[in-house]
């Protein structure tokens, strides 16, 4: 009887250890999955920011070429237009800032 009880206890301990190992493996797999998802999101956000910067740079160059020989290019911009463009810029930053912190323009 003693050996049967000892064997049963060892089996119970082994089963418990196996459950702990399985739980630990599941937790580790979940952590790795979460990190992979986070890294994918961070990379997508970085790529989106780079594309936005590239688009903005191209737009600025296109505008410079378009107004290079235009007399109105040297005229002042109405305050209302400046304010509206700044509001638009801020709204773009607010939307893209929800995914990551933006750096101010230098």
Locate the domains of the chain by residue range: 2-97
CB-based contacts of 81-90 (< 8 A; 24+ apart in sequence): none
For the whole model, what pTM was predicted?
0.51
**Nearest-CA neighbor of 45 among 92, 88, 106, 101?**
101
Q: What is the pLDDT of residues 5-59, one digit of tens each?
A: 888 899 999 999 999 999 999 999 999 999 999 999 999 999 999 998 888 888 8
């Amino acid at each position: 009887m003693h050996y049967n009880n000892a064997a049963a206890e060892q089996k119970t301990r082994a089963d418990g250890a196996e459950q702990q190992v399985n739980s630990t493996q599941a937790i580790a797999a979940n952590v790795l999955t979460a990190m992979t998802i986070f890294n994918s999101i961070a990379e997508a956000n970085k790529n989106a920011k780079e594309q936005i910067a590239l688009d903005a740079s191209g737009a600025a160059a296109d505008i410079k070429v378009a107004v290079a020989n235009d007399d109105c290019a040297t005229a002042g911009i109405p305050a209302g237009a400046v304010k509206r463009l700044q509001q638009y810029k801020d709204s773009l930053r607010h939307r893209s800032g929800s995914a990551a912190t933006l750096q101010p323009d230098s």
